[in-house]
Amino acid sequence: MVYLRIRGEELDYPFSLSTLKKENPNVSFPRKMPEELLAEYSVFPVIAVSRPAATLTQDHVEQQPQQINGVWTQVWAMVDVSPEEAARRQQTAQDAADAEAVKVDAFVQNFIAMTPKQVTSYIANNTANLAQVRALLTKMALMLLALAKREYR
């Protein structure tokens, strides 16, 4: 459980019960403190809320809790990332999509399951004309591109 403490107009958040105990060394607190006792020290539980998912252009940032219907509740805001970060995320997402497209290709699935001898045989049997050579070269170039993006970017 996460807590906050109210001091005048300020909120101490997050606030730990160990801090409360250290600040009150002459008080014998029970192991499990009831909310009524915590309220005497202006300490209140904060209801956790799932943080929103980050997007390509925004991140989630925790704000000060707000009292909603009498309950202190965690609050999240979405803030824009820098244009450079947004571009980096876009590129990463595109690279992942490209790699996934290559990865699920039937040729790629068969190719990565081959032994070196089977690759040699496949090339010998599937490069009889220019169209076949171009098709094979294109598939291999796409695989190489996916690997290069992962390894060298």
Q: Which of 54, 80, 106 is the last residue of a domain?
A: 80
Q: What is the three-class DSSP state of 65? A: strand
Two tokens at 26? 């002459």
Two tokens at 3? 């807590």
Q: Are 68 and 90 part of one and the same domain?
A: no
Q: Are 75 and 106 part of one and the same domain?
A: no
The structural domain count of the chain equals: 2
Q: Are 16 and 53 part of one and the same domain?
A: yes
Q: Are 53 and 100 part of one and the same domain?
A: no
Q: What pLDDT score does 122 carry?
A: 92
Position 2, amino acid: V
* pLDDT digits (tens), the chain, 153 positions: 899 999 999 999 999 999 999 999 999 999 999 999 999 999 999 999 999 999 999 999 999 999 999 999 999 999 999 999 999 999 999 988 888 888 888 888 888 899 999 999 999 999 999 999 999 999 899 889 888 888 887
pTM: 0.63
Domain that holds residue 136: 83-152
Q: Are 106 and 54 part of one and the same domain?
A: no
